C-alpha cells in the first residue's frame, strides 16, 4: 500500500511535524514523525489541516516519458554491444586492451583513449562494435537485476592453458539466462601449454558446442599478447550481429542505460550512458533513475566533444543534478519541470518504501517483545 512518512507529509503541507503528530494522536494513532502512515490516514490529516489532497500515481507522473513503439520502417541497423566475460586471469582485460589498441593503430589518429567504461571499434570490414569495458560479471548481473539488458553478445574468454573454470561456467549461465549468444575466444594460444581441444571438449559438458565440434557456437583462437586472431574475433562478432539483425530508431528522443557514473572533482557528476535507442543531443533534458539534468556536454570514448549520440554509442554525459547508479535508465523528457517532478517522485517513492519497511520492522520488534 501507498504510505508517506509523517515528516514528509508535514513538509509538503508546510506544517510542523510535531503538529501533525499531535493531530494523529487525536485520531488515536501513536506515530513518530519518522514513521510512515498509509495514504488514507494521510488524506484525513491533510483535510484536518484544511489542505486538499491530490494523489499522484506512477502512471500520471511517468507518462510524459515517450513510450513510442518504433514501427519497422523507422528502424535502422545498429552496432552490437559486446561484454567480455570469463574466469579471472584468463585475459579479459588484456583482450579488451588489445582490441582497443589494434583499432587505434589501424584507425583514427588521436590515440589517447580515456577510460569511460565502454568503447567502440571498427572491424576490418567496417562494422562498428561497442565493447562494455566494465568489470565483467558484477556489472552484467547488477544491470540485468535492474532490468537493463544492455548486452547483445557475450565473448567468453577461456585460457587455452587452463580450460573451463568456475567463473567460465558462471558466465555461461549468465549469458544463457539473459538469452544472449556466446562467442568463445580461446585465449593465450601463444603459450606452449595451450590446449584448445581441451577447452572445446570441456565446454561440451556445459552444452556449448562450438563450430569446430560441429556445433553452432563460434569459436576463435586468439592471443591477447601477440594479437593473433583478433581480427577473426571481430569478424565473428560482426557475423553474429548480422544474424541478430540489431536495429534501433535514431530519429526519436534518446534513451539509454548508465554503464558507469562518478562524481568528478572538476566536472561534477558524470555518467557514461550507452544510448540504446533514439539520439541523445546536447541541450536535451532528461531523467535518469532518481536524477535529472540537461546535457551540458557529450564526450565520446576518445574524450572528444560531440553534439549527438545515436543507438549503441557510449557517451559521457555532463549536466546531471547528482550521480546516478549503473543500470539506471535515461529518458529524454520535454521540460525541466517534468524532469524534476519525475526524479523527485521516484526519490520520494524510494524513501517511502524504505520508511514503510522500517516501520514494519519496528512493529515486528514490538510484537516480538510483547
**Interface with ligand GDP, residue 339, by CB under 6 A:** no
Q: Is 362 annotated as a binding residue?
A: no
Q: Is 87 annotated as a binding residue?
A: yes
Rounded to 5, what percent of the chain is helix, strand, coil? 35, 25, 40
Specify the DSSP element, H or E, that contains 261: strand 255-264
Candidates 101, 144, 191, 206; binder of ligand GDP (CB under 6 A) is 191
| Site pattern 69..108 for Mg ion (x: CB under 5 A) | -----------------------xx---------------
Which of 194, 188, 195, 193 shows the shortest CA–CA distance to 225? 188
C-alpha cell read off for 324: 546516478
Q: Which does 94 bind (CB under 5 to 8 A by kind): Mg ion, ligand GDP, none?
A: ligand GDP
Closest CB to ligand GDP among residues 86, 293:
86
CB of 93 to Mg ion, least distance (A): 3
Closest CB to ligand GDP among residues 153, 355:
153
Number of residues that bind ligand GDP (CB under 6 A): 15
Give the span between the Cα atoms of 317 and 297, in whole angstroms.
6
Count of beta carbons in the 10 Å neighbourhood of residue 138: 10
Q: Is 303 annotated as a binding residue?
A: no
Q: Is 91 annotated as a binding residue?
A: yes
CB of 182 to ligand GDP, least distance (A): 16
CB of 92 to ligand GDP, least distance (A): 3
Give the span between the Cα atoms of 253 and 256, in whole angstroms.
10
Size (the chain), residues: 370
Phi, psi at 76, each rounded to 5°: -125, 155
Give the span between the Cα atoms of 254 and 312, in whole angstroms.
11
CB of 113 to ligand GDP, least distance (A): 17
Cα angle 362, 345, 57 (rounded to 5 degrees) comes to: 90
Which of 270, 269, 268, 272 shows the shortest CA–CA distance to 260? 272
**Interface with Mg ion, residue 34, by CB under 5 A:** no
DSSP per position, 169-208: HHHHHHHHHHT--EEEEEE-TTSTT--HHHHHHHHHTTT-
Give the span between the Cα atoms of 85 and 96, in whole angstroms.
11
Strand partners, 136: none
Number of residues that bind Mg ion (CB under 5 A): 2
| Site pattern 224..253 for ligand GDP (x: CB under 6 A) | xx----------------------------
Q: Is 126 annotated as a binding residue?
A: no
Q: Is 166 annotated as a binding residue?
A: no
Which of 341, 301, 344, 339 shows the shortest CA–CA distance to 319? 339
What distance, in Å, lies between the first and last C-alpha atoms of the chain? 26
**Interface with ligand GDP, residue 188, by CB under 6 A:** yes
Closest CB to ligand GDP among residues 45, 199:
199
Q: Is 293 annotated as a binding residue?
A: no
Closest CB to Mg ion among residues 85, 318:
85
CB of 229 to ligand GDP, least distance (A): 9
Give the span between the Cα atoms of 133 and 84, in whole angstroms.
8
By CB under 6 A, the residues from 81 to 110 that bind ligand GDP are 86, 88-94
Q: Is 93 annotated as a binding residue?
A: yes
CB of 91 to ligand GDP, least distance (A): 3
Using CB under 6 A as the criterion, which residues of the chain lie in contact with ligand GDP when the complex forms? Answer: 86, 88-94, 187-188, 190-191, 223-225
Residues making up the binding site for GTP: 86-93, 133-137, 187-190
Using CB under 5 A as the criterion, which residues of the chain lie in contact with Mg ion when the complex forms? Answer: 92-93
Residues making up the binding site: 86-93, 133-137, 187-190
Amino acid at each position: 500500500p501507498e504510505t508517506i512518512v509523517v515528516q514528509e507529509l508535514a513538509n509538503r503541507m508546510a506544517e510542523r511535524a510535531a503538529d501533525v503528530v499531535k493531530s494523529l494522536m487525536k485520531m488515536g494513532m501513536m506515530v513518530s514523525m519518522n514513521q510512515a502512515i498509509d495514504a488514507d490516514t494521510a488524506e484525513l490529516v491533510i483535510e484536518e489541516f484544511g489542505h486538499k489532497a491530490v494523489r499522484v500515481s506512477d502512471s500520471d507522473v511517468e507518462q510524459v516519458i515517450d513510450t513510442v513503439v518504433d514501427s519497422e520502417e523507422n528502424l535502422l541497423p545498429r552496432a552490437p554491444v559486446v561484454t567480455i566475460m570469463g574466469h579471472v586471469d584468463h585475459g579479459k582485460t588484456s583482450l579488451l586492451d588489445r582490441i582497443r589498441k589494434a583499432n587505434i593503430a589501424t584507425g583514427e589518429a588521436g590515440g589517447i583513449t580515456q577510460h569511460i567504461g565502454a568503447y567502440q571499434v571498427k572491424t576490418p570490414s567496417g562494422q562498428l562494435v561497442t565493447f562494455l569495458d566494465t568489470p565483467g560479471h558484477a556489472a552484467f548481473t547488477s544491470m540485468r537485476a535492474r532490468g537493463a539488458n544492455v548486452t547483445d553478445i557475450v565473448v567468453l574468454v577461456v585460457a587455452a592453458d587452463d580450460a573451463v573454470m568456475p567463473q567460465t561456467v558462471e558466465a555461461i549461465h549468465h549469458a544463457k539466462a539473459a538469452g544472449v549468444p556466446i562467442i568463445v575466444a580461446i585465449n593465450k594460444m601463444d603459450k606452449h601449454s595451450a590446449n584448445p581441444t581441451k577447452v572445446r571438449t570441456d565446454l561440451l559438458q556445459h552444452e556449448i558446442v562450438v563450430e569446430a565440434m560441429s556445433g553452432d557456437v563460434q569459436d576463435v583462437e586468439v592471443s591477447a599478447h601477440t594479437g593473433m586472431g583478433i581480427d577473426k574475433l571481430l569478424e565473428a562478432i560482426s557475423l553474429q550481429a548480422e544474424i541478430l539483425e540489431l536495429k534501433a530508431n535514431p530519429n526519436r528522443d534518446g534513451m539509454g542505460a548508465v554503464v558507469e557514473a562518478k562524481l568528478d572533482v572538476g566536472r561534477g557528476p558524470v555518467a557514461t550512458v550507452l544510448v540504446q535507442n533514439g539520439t541523445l543531443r546536447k541541450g536535451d533534458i532528461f531523467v535518469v533513475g532518481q536524477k535529472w539534468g540537461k546535457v551540458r556536454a557529450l564526450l565520446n570514448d576518445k574524450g572528444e566533444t560531440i553534439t549527438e549520440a545515436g543507438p549503441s554509442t557510449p557517451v559521457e554525459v555532463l549536466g546531471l543534478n547528482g550521480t546516478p547508479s549503473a543500470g539506471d535508465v535515461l529518458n529524454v523528457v520535454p521540460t525541466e519541470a517534468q524532469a524534476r517532478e519525475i526524479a523527485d517522485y521516484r526519490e520520494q517513492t524510494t524513501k517511502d518504501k524504505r520508511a514503510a519497511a522500517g516501520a514494519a520492522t519496528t512493529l515486528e520488534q514490538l510484537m516480538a517483545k510483547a
